[in-house]
Structure 1
Amino acid sequence: MGVSVGGAGARELASSPAQKRAAAKAVGDHIESGTRRAGAWADDETEAAVKALGARDGDGWQTSAALRTAHETWGDQVRNLMDRLGAEKDSLSSANTVLTGTDLAVGAQLRQLSPLDRY
């Protein structure tokens, strides 16, 4: 059973182990792979543009150098996004184990010998 986040158009958070596994699988199978493909396409296209605008007879367009710099910055941002997606996928995958372990540990601490156990 999901937890409603409220408001108009509210969505439910993945809260069951199956929902968390499905969300982690979606991140791994679709979002990460799609981001990788888009990044590779952008790399190829940007390299072609940098080369086309680059120096031929000693002079090149300033656009070539600016594109190269922007592409390096963009590449850093994509790497950060991929790292974040990987961390989110790992968190979703391990959330049930962590939460179950926490529940069991708290339950064990709370369920110590009670005076009522003697009756």
Structure 2
Amino acid sequence: MFGSTPAEKKAAADTIETELEPNTKKAAEGAKENTSTAARTVDGWETASGLKKVTETWDQQVKTLMGRLSTEKASLRSASSLFVQNDVRTGDELRALSPKSRLEGL
């Protein structure tokens, strides 16, 4: 037995799409904007170049996180379908074996 039902997988994927992705993007943009504003405020100081570097690192980390969320969402949505397809195929294969052919192998 798997640890979650197809409905639970769908709900988790929907949560990623409707809550985690948009909220993460919004938070990331806010942090980037604040850091960029701070860098402009101290332009000409060593701190400004450090803040610009932090912003570049932040952008890469956010990109990685958003990619991971997207991958997890897609995996959740496809997992249920794959399990159902596998169950149906296995059932079809078992039904294809007639009682006669099962006895011949004994």
Of the candidates 32, 49, 53, which is equivalent to residue 43 of structure 1?
32
Shift in CA distance, 62/118, structure 1 to aligned 2, threshold 3 Å: closer
- Whether 2:17 is the aligned partner of 1:28: answer yes
TM-score for the superposition, normalised by structure 1: 0.75
What amino acid maps onto 2:17 in structure 1?
A: G
- Larger fraction in helix: 2
- Whether 2:52 is the aligned partner of 1:68: answer yes
Alpha-carbon contact 2:32-2:58 (below 8 Å) kept: no
Q: Indicate the RMSD between aligned Cα atoms, in angstroms.
A: 2.3
Aligned residues: 103
Q: What is the aligned partner in structure 2 of residue 10 from structure 1?
A: none
Q: Which runs of 5+ in 1 are unaligned?
A: 4-14, 55-59
Q: Which runs of 5+ in 2 are unaligned?
A: none
Q: What is the aligned partner in structure 2 of residue 101 from structure 1?
A: 85
TM-score for the superposition, normalised by structure 2: 0.84
What amino acid maps onto 1:20 in structure 2?
A: K
Q: Percent of aligned pairs with the same residue?
A: 40
Show structure 1 runs of 4+ deviating over 4 A: none
